[in-house]
Amino acid sequence: MTDQRLPSLFDVEEMELSFGPQHPATHGVLRVQLRLDGEKIVDAKPIIGYLHRGTEKLFETMPFPQCIPHTDRMDYVAAATNNQGFCVAMEKLLGITIPPRAAYIRMMLAELQRLASHLVWLATHAIDIGAITPFFYTFRERDAILDLFEEYCGARLTLNTMKIGGVPFDLPAGWVERCSALVDAFPAHIDEYEELLTNNRIWKKRTIGIGVVAPEDAIDWGLTGPPLRGSGVRWDIRKVFPYDRYDEIDFEIPIGVNGDTYDRYLVRMVEMRQSVRILRQCLDRLPAGPVIAKIPKVLRARDGMVYGSVEAPKGELGYFIVTTDKATEPYRCRVRPPSFVNLQLLPDMVRGHLVADLVAVIGTLDIVLGEIDR
């Protein structure tokens, strides 16, 4: 005889859970509205916009060069690549060719920034999953990179370190040597992180087979950057549409096989090694000469629209700039944020997984809310 008052064990109601926006594992102010069956995710709905500051609107009100500091505030862990994206788009619009030394300095800053950004990703991703130790190692190296930035431009995070037509200053004395020392030591550091994680049984258990994305889906959903490459699509803006002087540099694009969280982890680890390789080549070949092109004091564009993009650590960061004739400010400046587009796939990636895996998937997408909300 059964007790009618108790519900059956298999007849539980779905629960709604709001994950975030004030949760350390959401990497900012992401809120995910979850529908749970026990601990299993039935559906997830990301809710964004908590950090919306109207950057695109602000761009419309200020002269082209003044837009650059605002780009820093979007992907705030990778400011240099944001600057680079805007400058590349503006140079395309105005027909500016930048001097080789400026291009090499930019590439070095961008690759250092990629390392710094990937280190933050690795630290937070690992700490979310439960591995606390990598955080201490990665932040040690990241600090050394930020020191190099500080020495170059005075800022550590919001760098504002590129100008339309080149870079604002030449490298300070001794910078190349210090950067060189860092670059030489870096592969050993990557080995250290890998030693902690790559063959770690818990790490593998938490990441293999989690958040699998098939290559067709990745393309259809517009993924870019490591999430796209993790699914096995060999595509990188630095190779496809080389900007600055990436066409002179020898490097490879790592791709994954299974499209799961573990593959995306491996892709980013190899990417760091490739960044070190790019840095080494830049340091060895750093040409002499001016660091900024000869450009008019007041930049005036003609009517037209251009799209310029760079490979940011998170994926393809594009700027779509529309100008009217003789304009000194953009009529419309659209930012194509990689994190925003990548985050779209979150519900599909976590459906059927456990809540704990949601944290792993958010980590593997490597989102930055400043960029998603703009």
Partner 1 sequence: MSDNEKTPPDHPPDAPEKPAGAAPDAAPAGGEAPKAAPTDEEKAAKIAAAKAKAAAAKAAKEAAPEEPKQPWETKPVTPEHEDASADPDVAALAAAVDGSVLAADRFAGDVTVTVPAAKIVDICRALKTGRGFKFLVDLTAIDWREREQGRFDVVYWMHRFDDSKRIRLLAALPAECSIASVTGVWRTANWLEREVYDMFGIHFEGHPALERILTWEGFNGHPLRKDFPVEGIDTGAAIYPDVYPPGGGPLRPEELEQPEPKADGKGES
**Residue 214 binds to partner 1 (criterion: CB under 8 A):** no
**Residue 108 binds to partner 1 (criterion: CB under 8 A):** no
Q: 195 or 220: whose CB is closer to partner 1?
A: 220
**Residue 334 binds to partner 1 (criterion: CB under 8 A):** yes
CA distances for 53 relative to 46, 49, 74, 334, angstroms: 19, 9, 10, 14
CB 11 within 8 A of CB 1: no
Kindly identify the residues of this chain, within the stretch 225-264, that bind partner 1 according to CB under 8 A.
233, 235, 240-241
CB 280 within 8 A of CB 251: no
Kindly identify the residues of this chain, within the stretch 267-326, that bind partner 1 according to CB under 8 A.
290, 293-296, 301-302, 304-307, 309, 316, 318, 320, 322
Give the interface segment with partner 1, choosing from 12-20, 98-106, 123-131, 265-273 (CB under 8 A): 98-106
In sequence order, the 6+-apart residues with CB closer than 8 A to the CB of 244 are 84, 88, 98, 103, 104, 106, 107, 110
How many whole angstroms separate alpha carbon 185 and alpha carbon 107?
A: 19
CB 226 within 8 A of CB 70: no
Q: 18 or 61: whose CB is closer to partner 1?
A: 61
How many whole angstroms separate alpha carbon 296 and alpha carbon 126?
A: 48
Binding-residue total with partner 1 (CB under 8 A): 53
Degrees, nearest 5: CA angle 109-228-254: 60
Give the interface segment with partner 1, choosing from 184-192, 276-284, 327-335, 353-361 (CB under 8 A): 327-335
Cis peptide leading into residue 21 (ω within 30°): yes
Min. distance of Cβ 222 from partner 1 in angstroms?
Answer: 3
Amino acid symbol at 173: A
How many whole angstroms separate alpha carbon 206 and alpha carbon 209?
A: 8
Min. distance of Cβ 224 from partner 1 in angstroms?
Answer: 8
Q: 276 or 322: whose CB is closer to partner 1?
A: 322
Min. distance of Cβ 65 from partner 1 in angstroms?
Answer: 14
Site mask for partner 1 (CB under 8 A), range 13-42, x = bound: ------------------------------
Q: 61 or 177: whose CB is closer to partner 1?
A: 61
Q: 112 or 299: whose CB is closer to partner 1?
A: 299
In sequence order, the 6+-apart residues with CB closer than 8 A to the CB of 209 are 258, 260, 262
Kindly identify the residues of this chain, within the stretch 52-81, that bind partner 1 according to CB under 8 A.
52, 54, 56-58, 60-61
Element (H, E) at 309: strand 304-312
How many whole angstroms separate alpha carbon 194 and alpha carbon 159?
A: 29
CB 265 within 8 A of CB 197: yes
Site mask for partner 1 (CB under 8 A), range 158-187, x = bound: -------xx---------------------
Strands (E), 230-276: none
Tokens in use for 81? 């690549």
**Residue 204 binds to partner 1 (criterion: CB under 8 A):** no
Min. distance of Cβ 170 from partner 1 in angstroms?
Answer: 15
User: How does DSSP classify residue 292?
Assistant: B
Binding site for partner 1 (CB under 8 A): 48-49, 52, 54, 56-58, 60-61, 92-99, 102, 165-166, 219-222, 233, 235, 240-241, 290, 293-296, 301-302, 304-307, 309, 316, 318, 320, 322, 331-332, 334, 336, 340-341, 344, 373-374
